């Protein structure tokens, strides 16, 4: 664990400039009738889960370029997330992928989580790879497979994930189904959907009542002709079929270019079926880049829709599960994650500043320019000092990345762990 003195030491260096920016923002928002502390408190409460599989360098199928010091086991993954949370106070949970993160001693893991002020977010099943000594292959599908023995294996794996989750007090199972086809005629579209729906229903039935099932969609990859769950409509219909504790999960990279994701968010919230988010950045598809790095305005529009839904009492959507789902091929994974969380909080803060009454008025009166300018004005406001202040007030760093770099944390991890490479993709 990092000594809090180090965080304070870096904060002191940055305090004067930070205060200057904050004072300006306080006055600017005050003129608009917004109390800055109310916004800061909301930022403090916003927590984004870190996926265990994003703590090592990712790769493409052409190669991987690790820098060393990666977590070698679940314990070290928890330590890394603990470090991130210590620096930004906004990442208080970790999501697990089974079988990569099977806990060998659940009680010891729970103790470790507690020591780092963390909890387990979701457990994620993996039927996109065959494991060693697996009796049947997922090559031609898992939950949608034509053969019942393969489907049963995949169903049992998901049920097992829930068991591991229960041991660690998780309450969320996330299913991302890699099933699909690569060639026309390969798969019978309607039957593949029906088999999937039946398989998901059996998993759902075995889940405790206070658990949530999140169903993710993805238009292509690993299959390129068809995916069994390619879009939000399919996820939504599966959720409707299985029951009220199933929700749609939106992964920002799982859309074709130019899809209006904010509209999808609005629709799902309207139906009360938006369960959670996988944040990342995307240029073409499932690029898994740093959140907000490619299309920051679109990201703001998505948050604008989220905040609008969350603040509207007529919207009966359950609280959302926020998570990053990224892969770090180029940057240091911890730095990249800190950058992503910062982009998420900054964008959330901006969406909180939108004058909703004014926007509704402009929309009702079809004043297109006024509505658009209202959003643009908020988007252009530099609110980074609000996020820095939220972190500072919560005991974190004013500038988490500067502190991570200044304290030479990565080289410390390399010294301790050696040239290690984490499990994951």
- Site size for ligand RM4 (CB under 6 A): 10
CB of 26 to ligand RM4, least distance (A): 39
Of 251 and 399, the one with the shorter C-beta distance to Mn ion is: 251
CB of 17 to Mn ion, least distance (A): 37
- Site size for Mn ion (CB under 5 A): 4
Establish if 121 lies at the interface with ligand RM4 (CB under 6 A). no
Which one of 122, 124, 226, 378 is in contact with ligand RM4 (CB under 6 A)?
124
Establish if 121 lies at the interface with Mn ion (CB under 5 A). no
- Choosing among Mn ion, ligand RM4, none, which partner's interface includes residue 124 (Cβ < 5 to 8 Å by kind)? ligand RM4
Establish if 70 lies at the interface with Mn ion (CB under 5 A). no
Of 308 and 325, the one with the shorter C-beta distance to Mn ion is: 325
Residues in the chain: 425
Of 44 and 273, the one with the shorter C-beta distance to ligand RM4 is: 273
Establish if 181 lies at the interface with ligand RM4 (CB under 6 A). no
CB of 164 to Mn ion, least distance (A): 19
Cβ neighbours for 241, distance < 8 A, ≥ 6 positions apart: 197, 200, 201
CB of 174 to ligand RM4, least distance (A): 7
CA dihedral 236, 237, 240, 245 (to 10 degrees): -40
Residues 284-323 binding Mn ion (CB under 5 A) are: 286
Establish if 179 lies at the interface with ligand RM4 (CB under 6 A). no
Which one of 80, 101, 216, 262 is in contact with ligand RM4 (CB under 6 A)?
216
Beta bridge partners of 251: 278
Beta bridge partners of 274: 248
Which letter, b or e, does each residue of 55-82 get, where b requires 16 or more Cβ atoms within 10 Å of its Cβ?
Answer: bbbbbeeeeeeebebbbeebebbbbbbb
Which one of 195, 278, 350, 392 is in contact with ligand RM4 (CB under 6 A)?
278
Binding site for ligand RM4 (CB under 6 A): 53, 124, 176, 216, 218, 251, 278, 286, 325, 425
Binding site for Mn ion (CB under 5 A): 251, 278, 286, 325
């Amino acid at each position: 664990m990092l000594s809090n003195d180090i965080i304070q030491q870096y904060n002191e260096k940055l305090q004067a400039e930070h205060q200057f920016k904050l004072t300006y923002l306080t006055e600017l928002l005050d003129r608009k009738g917004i109390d800055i502390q109310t916004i800061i408190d909301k930022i403090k409460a916003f927590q984004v889960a870190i996926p265990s599989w994003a703590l090592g360098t990712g790769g493409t199928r052409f190669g991987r370029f690790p820098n060393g010091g990666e977590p070698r086991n679940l314990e070290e993954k928890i330590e890394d997330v603990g470090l991130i949370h210590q620096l930004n106070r906004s990442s208080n949970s970790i999501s697990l992928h089974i079988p990569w993160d099977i806990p060998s001693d659940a009680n010891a893991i729970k103790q470790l989580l507690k020591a780092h002020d963390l909890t387990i977010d979701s457990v994620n099943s993996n039927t996109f790879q065959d494991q060693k000594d697996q009796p049947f292959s997922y090559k031609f599908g898992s939950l949608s497979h034509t053969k019942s023995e393969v489907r049963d294996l995949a169903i049992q794996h998901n049920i097992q994930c829930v068991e591991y989750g229960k041991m660690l007090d998780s309450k969320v199972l996330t299913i991302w189904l890699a099933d699909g086809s690569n060639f026309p005629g390969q798969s019978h579209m309607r039957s593949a959907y029906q088999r999937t729906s039946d398989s998901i229903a059996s998993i759902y039935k075995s889940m405790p009542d206070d658990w949530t099932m999140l169903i993710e969609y993805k238009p292509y990859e690993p299959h390129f002709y068809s995916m069994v769950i390619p879009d939000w409509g399919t996820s939504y219909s599966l959720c409707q079929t299985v029951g009220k504790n199933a929700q749609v999960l939106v992964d920002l990279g799982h859309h074709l270019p130019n899809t209006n994701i904010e509209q999808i968010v609005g629709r799902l919230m309207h139906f009360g079926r938006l369960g959670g988010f996988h944040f990342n950045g995307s240029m073409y598809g499932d690029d898994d880049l740093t959140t907000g790095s490619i299309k920051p305005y679109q990201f703001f529009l998505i948050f604008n829709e989220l905040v609008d839904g969350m603040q509207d009492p007529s919207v009966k959507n359950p609280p959302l599960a926020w998570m990053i789902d990224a892969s770090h091929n180029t940057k240091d994974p911890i730095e990249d994650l800190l950058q992503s969380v910062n982009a998420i909080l900054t964008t959330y803060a901006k969406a909180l500043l939108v004058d909703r009454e004014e926007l509704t008025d402009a929309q009702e009166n079809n004043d297109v320019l006024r509505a658009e300018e209202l959003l643009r004005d908020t988007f252009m406001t530099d609110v980074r000092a609000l996020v820095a202040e939220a972190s500072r007030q919560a005991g974190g760093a004013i500038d988490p990345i500067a502190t991570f770099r200044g304290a030479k944390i990565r080289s410390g991890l390399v010294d301790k762990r050696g040239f290690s490479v984490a499990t994951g993709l």
